[in-house]
């Protein structure tokens, strides 16, 4: 596998030139005093160094060795403990944490870039760090001051890791079916009893404690999801001085043998009367958990395209070096037996598709992170409300569309290597395996599509869609006199119109047929994703066009944008036809005919 190189120029382009991060941060009450471009640039530079030099070299060996399970204990692969210690000592675990509890307080727009580099270096390593950040986010938003003071500083310092405990053997997407119990204790704590599965990092030897956020039900809880509460359950007891003590009746029963992310332990966790504390309100556990889920689902999307970035870097290096056949227009390297495979149109098609979707994903993840920052740090109620609505709309697209295209890109990178892509030593097959899970966990991509179309579009009569459509329409109007934008605005407007047509069709059809939403959901999300990426690429063109004549980097942006608009965005036409075919053919098949 080629050495990972953090794409800092691309990252800075999106963050600084496309989305003007410094201008945004200076306008928000919660960031104007904590971050400036000099600070952000230094953080990016160091993140690029530590991910490339410290973490990326672990990826191959970590995948080969995997985690070890013995008598309830999980041991991470060789080198991970030392690397994690160095990483934590650098303060990276608390980058976006609340400064009131010793976090650094950096905005998500910056955190998203750091997460990309972390996941590109090694998905498994990144999971330990990012899930801890997610758990800390929920604690910071909903826990009592006492719990925050006791647990957040240690989590931000990396001394303790965190885990989310949602899924049970019989309850995955339908969390209302969970059976884990929470019995009140006389001291205000609760006794938590139950089994959770698929718990990433639920047990590990990176730190001396793991802080679990566990969904459970009180004895008198209402049925279904309305009766779920959230509890903080440390693996080991912690005294009033922050000293870690004996086990808290929290044990690992086994770890899963998985297709990928093998250096990340995926655990079965048993809680046998473990002492826990309520986070948030009784029976409002899902609402508390979803505070972190918007961030976590964006993080999973970043995880996907970060692996795709690594695949792209590998594939480009290989395509420039591997010589096979001759260019269709004649020999390029006449002194050699063949030309590099990058001369072949089909190889270029795959590389450009990878580049277009990966760079589109980077822009889109930054776009969503921008709204997360506004919703968190703004003191303008109207601005905050708008940002929260856009986060709600965009989160399922960020999770599902980015990861779907990421797997496509990792497979394309593998394909460019030919037979070598199927061999372990080149690293491409690991990226395919590691990326596959991103389409499944944190809510499968089919569930994300249903969430987008059912909850975010149909349930409110398309009002959230209008927020997006209006923003794009305003952009098109503002750039209508910009000659450099002329080739892109028409196709973008047409794509938004098709998406509006699809939205109206489903809104009307679903009034008479309850299956219409489910039948159209996957195609609708893809159509929305493509249109959104069209908007992202138009914004990138705006930033790049003035410099393209004199700088090859910006010229490359324009060439990639032209490819996206000519070869990829037109897919919205066929997606609209699929949506309009309705649910009849899909639902007509009798169960016995499958």
User: What digits encode the pLDDT tens for the residues 535-548?
Assistant: 999 999 999 999 99
pLDDT score for 396? 98
How confident is the model over 472-497, as pLDDT tens digits? 999 999 999 999 999 999 999 999 99
Q: Which two tokens stand for residue 65?
A: 């060795």
Contact at 8 Å (CB) between 106 and 296?
no
**Which helix (DSSP H) or strand (DSSP E) does residue 244 occupy?**
strand 244-247
Is domain 8-156 classified as CATH 1.10.540.10? yes
pLDDT score for 172? 79
For range 514-526, the mean pLDDT: 97
pLDDT score for 389? 97
- Of 442, 479, 516, 523, the catalytic one is 442
Say whether pLDDT at 377 is over 70. Answer: yes
Contact at 8 Å (CB) between 441 and 300?
yes
How confident is the model over 307-359, as pLDDT tens digits? 999 999 999 999 999 999 999 999 999 999 999 999 999 999 999 999 999 99
- Our CA angle for 115, 116, 121, nearest 5°, is 100
SS3 of 499-538: HHHHHHHHHHHCCCCCCHHHHHHHHHHHHHHHHHHHHHHH
Instruction: Give the Cα separation of 256 and 504 in Å (integer).
Output: 44
pTM of the model: 0.97
Please name which of 66, 333, 366, 346 lies closest in space to residue 204, comparing C-alpha atoms: 66
Contact at 8 Å (CB) between 28 and 374?
yes
- Four-CA torsion 69, 70, 72, 73, nearest 10 degrees: -70
Q: Which two tokens stand for residue 370?
A: 């921008």
SS3 of 459-475: HHCCHHHHHHHHHHHHH
Q: How far are the Cα atoms of 30, 39, 124, 377 from residue 105, in angstroms, in the given order?
A: 9, 12, 25, 11
Phi-psi group of 544: left, alpha or beta (phi > 0 → left; psi -120 to 50 → alpha; rest → beta)? alpha
Mind giving me the DSSP string for 42-69?
A: HHHHHHHHHIIIIITTHHHHHHHH--EE
Say whether pLDDT at 57 is over 80. Answer: yes
Residue 175's pLDDT band, with cuts at 50, 70 and 90, is confident
pLDDT score for 569? 98
Q: Which two tokens stand for residue 535?
A: 């908007």
For range 230-241, the mean pLDDT: 97
Mind giving me the DSSP string for 330-354?
A: S-SSTTSSS-BGGGSHHHHHHHHHH
Fold of 162-285: Butyryl-CoA Dehydrogenase, subunit A; domain 2 (2.40.110)
Say whether pLDDT at 171 is over 90. Answer: no
121 class by beta-carbon count within 10 Å (0-12 exposed, 13-18 middle, 19+ buried): buried
Please, which residues have CB within 8 angstroms of residue 146's CB and are 6 or more apart in sequence? none
Can you tell me whether residue 384 is helix, strand or coil? helix
Please name which of 84, 87, 229, 244 lies closest in space to residue 150, comparing C-alpha atoms: 244
Q: Give the distance from CA 503 to its chain's centroid.
A: 25
How confident is the model over 265-303, as pLDDT tens digits? 999 999 999 999 999 999 999 989 888 888 999 999 999
How confident is the model over 67-94, as pLDDT tens digits? 999 999 999 999 999 999 999 999 999 9
Neighbouring C-beta atoms of residue 563, cutoff 10 Å:
19
Can you tell me whether residue 254 is helix, strand or coil? strand
Neighbouring C-beta atoms of residue 511, cutoff 10 Å:
10
Residue 191 is classified by DSSP as: E
Instruction: Give the Cα separation of 559 and 562 in Å (integer).
Output: 5
Mean pLDDT for the chain overall: 97
Instruction: Give the Cα separation of 327 and 548 in Å (integer).
Output: 27
Residue 1's pLDDT band, with cuts at 50, 70 and 90, is low
What are the structural domain ranges in the chain?
8-156, 162-285, 446-588
Phi-psi group of 229: left, alpha or beta (phi > 0 → left; psi -120 to 50 → alpha; rest → beta)? beta
Contact at 8 Å (CB) between 231 and 225?
no
How confident is the model over 408-461, as pLDDT tens digits? 999 999 999 999 999 998 999 999 999 999 999 999 999 999 999 999 999 999
Q: Which two tokens stand for residue 138?
A: 């929920």
Integer distance in angstroms from the first to the last C-alpha of the chain?
Answer: 42
Can you tell me whether residue 135 is helix, strand or coil? helix
For range 115-130, the mean pLDDT: 98
Contact at 8 Å (CB) between 134 and 299?
yes
Residue 49's pLDDT band, with cuts at 50, 70 and 90, is very high
For range 511-526, the mean pLDDT: 97
Contact at 8 Å (CB) between 155 and 93?
yes
For range 128-137, the mean pLDDT: 96
Say whether pLDDT at 2 is over 80. Answer: no
Can you tell me whether residue 183 is helix, strand or coil? strand
Name the pairing type of β-strands 190-200 and 266-279: antiparallel
- Of all residues in the chain, the percent with pLDDT exceeding 90 is 96
Q: Is-catalytic flag, 442?
A: yes
Instruction: Give the Cα separation of 377 and 464 in Å (integer).
Output: 22
Instruction: Give the Cα separation of 374 and 27 in Å (integer).
Output: 9
pLDDT score for 291? 82
329 class by beta-carbon count within 10 Å (0-12 exposed, 13-18 middle, 19+ buried): exposed
Instruction: Give the Cα separation of 382 and 365 in Å (integer).
Output: 23
Buried-exposed string 459-470: b where 16+ CB fall within 10 A, e elsewhere = eeebebbeebbe
Contact at 8 Å (CB) between 554 and 544?
yes
Placement of tokens 């089994």 in the chain: 195
DSSP percent split of the chain into helix, strand, coil, nearest 5: 60, 10, 25
């Amino acid at each position: 596998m080629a050495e990972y190189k953090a794409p800092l120029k691309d990252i800075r382009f999106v963050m600084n030139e496309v989305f003007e991060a410094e201008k945004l941060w200076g306008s928000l009450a919660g960031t104007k005093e904590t971050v400036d471009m000099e600070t952000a640039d230094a953080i990016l530079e160091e993140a690029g160094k530590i991910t490339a030099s410290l973490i990326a070299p672990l990826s191959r060996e970590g995948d080969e060795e995997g985690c070890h399970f013995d008598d309830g204990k999980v041991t991470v692969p060789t080198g991970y403990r030392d690397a994690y210690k160095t990483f934590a000592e650098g303060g990276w675990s608390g980058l976006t944490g609340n400064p009131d509890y010793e976090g650094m307080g950096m905005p998500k727009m910056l955190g998203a870039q750091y997460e990309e580099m972390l996941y590109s270096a090694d998905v498994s390593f990144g999971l330990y760090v990012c899930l801890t950040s997610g758990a800390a986010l929920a604690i910071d938003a909903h826990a009592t001051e006492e719990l925050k003071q006791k647990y957040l500083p240690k989590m931000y310092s990396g001394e303790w890791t965190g885990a989310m405990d949602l899924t049970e053997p019989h309850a995955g997407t339908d969390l209302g079916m969970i059976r884990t119990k929470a019995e009140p204790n006389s001291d205000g704590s609760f006794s938590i009893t139950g089994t959770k599965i698929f718990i990433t990092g639920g047990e590990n030897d990176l730190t001396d404690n793991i802080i679990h956020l566990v969904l459970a039900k009180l004895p008198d809880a209402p049925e279904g999801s309305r009766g779920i509460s959230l509890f903080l359950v440390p693996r080991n007891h912690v005294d009033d001085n922050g000293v870690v003590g004996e086990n808290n009746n929290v044990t690992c029963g086994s770890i899963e043998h998985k297709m990928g992310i093998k250096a990340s332990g995926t655990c079965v966790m048993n809680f046998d009367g473990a002492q826990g504390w309520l986070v948030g309100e009784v029976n409002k556990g899902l609402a508390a958990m979803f505070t972190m889920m918007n961030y976590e689902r964006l993080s999973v999307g970043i995880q996907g395209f970060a692996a795709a970035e690594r695949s792209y870097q590998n594939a480009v290096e290989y395509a420039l070096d591997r010589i096979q056949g001759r260019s269709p227009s004649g020999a390029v390297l006449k002194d050699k037996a063949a030309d590099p495979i990058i001369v072949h149109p089909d190889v270029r098609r795959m590389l450009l598709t990878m580049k277009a979707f990966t760079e589109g994903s980077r822009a889109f993840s930054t776009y969503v992170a921008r709204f997360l920052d506004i919703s968190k740090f703004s003191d303008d109620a109207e601005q905050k409300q708008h940002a929260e609505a856009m986060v709600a709309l965009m989160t399922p697209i960020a999770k599902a569309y980015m990861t779907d295209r990421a797997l496509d890109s990792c497979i394309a990178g593998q394909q460019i290597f030919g037979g070598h892509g199927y061999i372990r030593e080149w690293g491409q097959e690991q990226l395919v395996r590691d990326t596959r899970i991103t389409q499944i966990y944190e809510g499968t991509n089919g569930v994300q599509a249903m969430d987008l179309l059912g909850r975010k579009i149909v349930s409110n009569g398309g009002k959230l869609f209008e927020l997006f459509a209006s923003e794009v329409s305003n952009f098109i109007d503002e750039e209508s006199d910009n000659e450099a934008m002329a080739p892109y605005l028409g196709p973008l407007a047409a794509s938004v119109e098709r998406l509006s047509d699809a939205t109206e069709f489903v809104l009307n059809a679903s009034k008479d047929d309850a299956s219409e939403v489910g039948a159209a959901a996957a195609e609708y999300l893809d159509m929305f994703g493509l249109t959104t990426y069209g908007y992202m690429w138009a914004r990138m063109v705006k930033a790049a066009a003035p410099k393209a004549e004199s700088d090859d980097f910006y010229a490359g942006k324009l060439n990639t944008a032209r490819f996206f608009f000519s070869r990829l965005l037109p897919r919205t036409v066929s997606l609209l036809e699929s949506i309009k075919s309705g649910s009849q053919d899909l639902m007509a098949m009798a169960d016995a005919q499958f």
